[in-house]
Amino acid sequence: MSEDVSDGWSASAAAWIVEQGDDGDYGRRYVLDAPMQARVEHRGFRRALDVGCGEGRFCRIMQRAGIRTTGIDPTEALLRRARELDPHGDYRLGRAETMDVDADFDLVVSYLSLIDMPDLDAAIAKMAGALRPGGTLLIANLTSFNTAGQPMGWTRDGEGTARFTIDHYMDERPIWLSWRGIRVQNWHRPLSRYMTLLLDQGLVLRMFVEPEPSGGDPARIASHRRVPYFHIMEWQKPD
% residues pLDDT > 70 (the chain): 97
Torsion from C-alpha of 215, 35, 67, 75, nearest 10 degrees: -70
Is there a domain that residue 100 lies in? yes
Angle at alpha carbon of residue 8, lines to 177 and 213, rounded to 5°:
45
pLDDT above 50 (res 4): no
- CATH number of residue 139's parent domain: 3.40.50.150
Per-residue pLDDT band at 6 (split at 50, 70, 90) = low
E strand or H helix at 200: helix 191-200
- pTM, two decimal places: 0.95
pLDDT above 80 (res 65): yes
Lowest model confidence (mean pLDDT) among 4-13, 21-30, 97-106, 119-128: 4-13
Distance CA 64, CA 124 (A): 27
Is there a domain that residue 178 lies in? no
Is there a domain that residue 130 lies in? yes
pLDDT above 60 (res 5): no
Q: What's the domain range around 123?
A: 9-143+190-236
Is there a domain that residue 169 lies in? no
pLDDT above 90 (res 109): yes
pLDDT above 90 (res 193): yes
Is there a domain that residue 159 lies in? no
Question: Please, are residues 177 and 186 in contact by the beta-carbon 8 Å criterion?
Answer: yes
Q: What is the number of domains present in the chain? A: 1
E strand or H helix at 50: strand 47-51
Is there a domain that residue 76 lies in? yes
The predicted-structure confidence for 47-62, as pLDDT tens digits, reads as follows 999 999 999 999 999 9
Is there a domain that residue 158 lies in? no
Q: How many CA within 13 A on the CB side of residue 129? A: 13
Question: Can you tell me the mean pLDDT for 228-234?
Answer: 97
Q: CB-based burial of residue 157 (10 Å sphere; 0-12 exposed, 13-18 middle, 19+ buried)?
A: exposed
Which DSSP string corresponds to 96-151? Answer: GGG----S-EEEEEEES-GGG-S-HHHHHHHHHHTEEEEEEEEEEEE-HHHHTTTT
pLDDT above 60 (res 134): yes
What's the pLDDT at 3?
A: 44
What's the pLDDT at 89?
A: 96
Is there a domain that residue 203 lies in? yes
- Across the chain, mean pLDDT equals 95
